[in-house]
């Protein structure tokens, strides 16, 4: 089975959710793989940061990437940001729901 780059990313970083996504209809899988990868990146923002402010800066980068996709600006050069931008502009993923994920991760970072 040949995987897209975002599917391979999802498989490498969240294999359980990747396997669950394989049960989704084929036409929905790329968006789901993108969502899995986005979730991983948000979780990684906190894990990779040395203190809460650094995590908040990383999360703001993702918030800005979402806003740019909503405005029709070019995608940021990043292995997850590019497919995320494509999924948002295609209507496969809902930007406000993705922002809610960022909000939740920001709350976690502020508690740390």
What pLDDT does 49 receive? 86
Tally of structural domains, the chain? 1
What pLDDT does 43 receive? 96
What is the per-residue DSSP string for 12-59? HH-HHHHHHHTTS-HHHHHHHHHHHHHHHHHHHHHHH-SSHHHHHHHH
pLDDT single digits (tens) 34-78: 999 999 999 999 888 889 999 999 999 999 999 999 999 999 999
Q: What is the pTM of this model?
A: 0.94
What pLDDT does 34 receive? 99
Three-state DSSP state, 93: coil
Q: For residue 93, give the nearest of 108, 83, 103 by alpha carbon.
A: 83
What pLDDT does 112 receive? 65
Q: 65 is in which domain, residue-wise? A: 5-111
Mean per-residue pLDDT of the chain: 96
Rounded Cα distance, 21 and 29, in Å? 6
Residue 16 has pLDDT above 90, yes or no: yes
């Amino acid at each position: 089975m040949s995987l897209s780059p975002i599917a391979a990313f999802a498989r490498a970083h969240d294999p359980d959710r990747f396997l669950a996504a394989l049960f989704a209809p084929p036409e929905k899988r790329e968006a789901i793989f993108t969502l899995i990868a986005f979730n991983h990146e948000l979780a990684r923002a906190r894990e990779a940061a040395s203190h809460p402010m650094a995590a908040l800066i990383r999360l703001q980068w993702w918030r800005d990437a979402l806003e740019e996709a909503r405005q029709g600006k070019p995608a940021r050069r990043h292995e997850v940001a590019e497919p995320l931008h494509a999924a948002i502009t295609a209507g496969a993923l809902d930007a406000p729901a993705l922002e809610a994920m960022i909000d939740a991760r920001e709350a976690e970072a502020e508690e740390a």
